[in-house]
Amino acid sequence: MRIALYQFNPTVGDLSGNTDKLINAINESTNKGCDLFVTSELSITGYCPDDLLLRESFLKDSFHQLNRLLNFKKINLLIGCPYRISTKTYNSVFYISNGIISERYDKISLPNYGVFDELRYFDKGNTYKIIIFNNIKIGILICEDIWTSDHVMQLKNLGANLICVLNASPFRKDILDKRIQKVKQNIMISNIPIVYVNQIGGQDDIVYDGNSFVIDSKLEVKILMPAFEESLTFIDVTTSNNALNFISNNPPLTYNSLEYLYKALTLSLKDYIQKNGFKGVIIGLSGGIDSALTLAIANNALGKDNVITVMMPSKYTSKMSIDDAFLMSSNLGVKHHSINIDTVFTEYKNLLSDIFVNLKEDTTEENLQARIRGALLMAISNKLGYLVLTTGNKSEIATGYCTLYGDMVGGFCLLKDVYKTDVYKLSCWINSVKEVIPNRIITRAPTAELNFNQTDQDVLPEYSILDKILSYLLEDGLSSQDLLALGYPDDVITKVIRLLNLSEYKRKQSVIGPKVSNSSFTKEWRYPITNKYLF
């Protein structure tokens, strides 16, 4: 038996377009002599359609597209599609054989944590399914099902000697290792090899990495498909001594963690812009590391002709920042503009002088500069049809070191789930191949340049300490007492927690950005704005 594994990039709601891509891959698989075609969870609709699943017309149209695949009679198909029967809706996989739907498996374990909300949309399945091809008994599971060993053992009891799992598993740090470890645990207790096919692509604030794989009963990874790339891969299965053997000409691939992060951010941005029909992006380039990294990734994702940078200096902006912003834009060949905001800033202060009489300048005037810049970027966006990328990072957004209607203005925040320390690591990794970001942008002290001689550490703890504390709070759920036990100073802990709580109202108004950590400021972070509990 030859199996085709197709990890592809669907667009949610593009039912006919997704099905066209499936048909093209099925045709190629048929020409390659494949017997079974396996793809990702909800492949007809893309994952996750959210409240589109509550519309009867969407479910009917999805099933209509599934029926287009009944024309294939020379290859067997496992296709993911939602299914509505009576008053129940299921997350289903359809087995199409000889041009007819011969089996349907309904997902049993419905995730309802983190970014998942499947109990809102689906009913639980209650029946395990085995399909038989060339005397090979194949069990079917869907994504979350594989994380529960009971399901694997139920299939073993039904005589399965191969399991195919259709997935839409989002990317996050170390997730590939966790998937492989869980699958190997299931193989160890069942002695059943597993074919794992995962979706790729950006969908709003989620990015799927693919990395589909096959692991045999000896726990050997026979195939590891590319991360963040569409791929159609074939593997041959033979039987000897009642065991399945897998033959592949595709050796497993490897990536390092920074390359994974870079690819995740790149694909997320590319898909968000292209799938939503924007012409390109605008970046307020400050001469600092966050906007520089955003530009480097945007240039890679979209190409230089689809990126515009705007430098908006004031009297507080150093010549170094102006020069470095110009140098980086020139090196990449993107269109660069400079707009001095001093005149506008002075006029704003004059307009407010009667109200602000006898009041000293403070962060109000600093924020005013950021808001002037935000208004200019949005004007350019309106006129040209390009989306503004905000450039804040997770450390800043967590602590509120950002300005509502200022540097938070835009449509997509590429670094929203990337800590400042990881911004530096990623920038250095990019430059290790070729110097894309001028080196002194990386080595200089971080500063918002909204006042003279200003640095981020005037307000925040050192990022190396801040990010550790934030990671413990956000991703590990530790308390202030836990942090004290780890040796962090009480005053620093108190300050960080206070900033985190006070900034909730800002985060509720912030734009989306790709989830790349174990706990992002999306559906995983649902704290109340009005809240007196300080962890």
The DSSP annotation for 478-495 comes to --HHHHHHTT--HHHHHH
- Secondary structure element (H or E) that encloses residue 163, with its range: strand 162-167
Contact assessment for residue 250 and residue 233, using Cβ atoms and an 8 Å cutoff: yes
Instruction: Output the pLDDT for position 90.
Output: 98
Judged against a pLDDT cut of 70, whether residue 454 lies above it is answered with no
Instruction: Output the pLDDT for position 526.
Output: 85
CA distance 125 to 105: 8
* pLDDT band for position 119 (cuts 50, 70, 90): very high
Contact assessment for residue 125 and residue 105, using Cβ atoms and an 8 Å cutoff: yes
Angle at 342 between CA 337 and CA 348, to 5 degrees: 120
Q: Which residue has the tokens 């003279």?
A: 452
Listed residue (195, 171, 173, 200) closest to 183, CA to CA? 195
* pLDDT band for position 527 (cuts 50, 70, 90): confident
Instruction: Output the pLDDT for position 455.
Output: 74
Judged against a pLDDT cut of 80, whether residue 252 lies above it is answered with no
Return the structure tokens found at 223: 């195939």
Average pLDDT value for residue range 255-262: 89
DSSP annotation of 415: T
Structural domain boundaries of the chain?
2-253, 259-456
Measured from the Cβ of residue 347, the count of other Cβ atoms closer than 10 Å reads: 11
How far CA 85 is from CA of 59, 96, 220, 319, in Å, comes to 10, 18, 40, 66
- Percent of the chain clearing pLDDT 70 (strictly above): 99
Average pLDDT value for residue range 229-244: 90
Judged against a pLDDT cut of 80, whether residue 477 lies above it is answered with yes
Model confidence over 135-176: pLDDT tens digits?
899 999 999 999 999 999 999 999 999 999 999 999 998 899
Q: Which residue has the tokens 């949610």?
A: 12
Handedness of CA 249, 254, 260, 262 (dihedral sign): negative
**What mean pLDDT, rounded, does the chain reach?**
93
CA distance 231 to 226: 7
Beta-bridge partner residues of 201: 208
Return the structure tokens found at 114: 């983190």
Homologous superfamily assigned to 259-456 = HUPs (3.40.50.620)
CA distance 246 to 169: 24
Contacts of 188 (CB under 8 A, 6+ apart): 219
Judged against a pLDDT cut of 70, whether residue 134 lies above it is answered with yes
Average pLDDT value for residue range 73-89: 95
Q: Which residue has the tokens 């590939």?
A: 176
Instruction: Output the pLDDT for position 449.
Output: 63
Judged against a pLDDT cut of 80, whether residue 41 lies above it is answered with yes
* Residues classed as catalytic: 41, 107, 143
Q: Which residue has the tokens 């990294």?
A: 293
Helix (H, G, I), strand (E, B) or coil at 142: strand
Model confidence over 285-331: pLDDT tens digits?
999 999 999 999 999 999 999 999 999 999 998 899 999 999 999 99
CA distance 94 to 100: 10
Homologous superfamily assigned to 2-253 = Carbon-nitrogen hydrolase (3.60.110.10)
> What are the two backbone dihedrals, phi and then psi, of residue 282, each rounded to the nearest 5 degrees?
-120, 135
Rounded to two decimals, what is the model's pTM? 0.94
Model confidence over 383-396: pLDDT tens digits?
999 999 999 999 99
Q: Which residue has the tokens 């045709």?
A: 27
DSSP string, 354-407: TTSTT----HHHHHHHHHHHHHHHHHHHHHH-PEEEE---HHHHHHT-S-TTTT
Contact assessment for residue 370 and residue 396, using Cβ atoms and an 8 Å cutoff: no
Contact assessment for residue 168 and residue 9, using Cβ atoms and an 8 Å cutoff: no
Average pLDDT value for residue range 179-198: 96
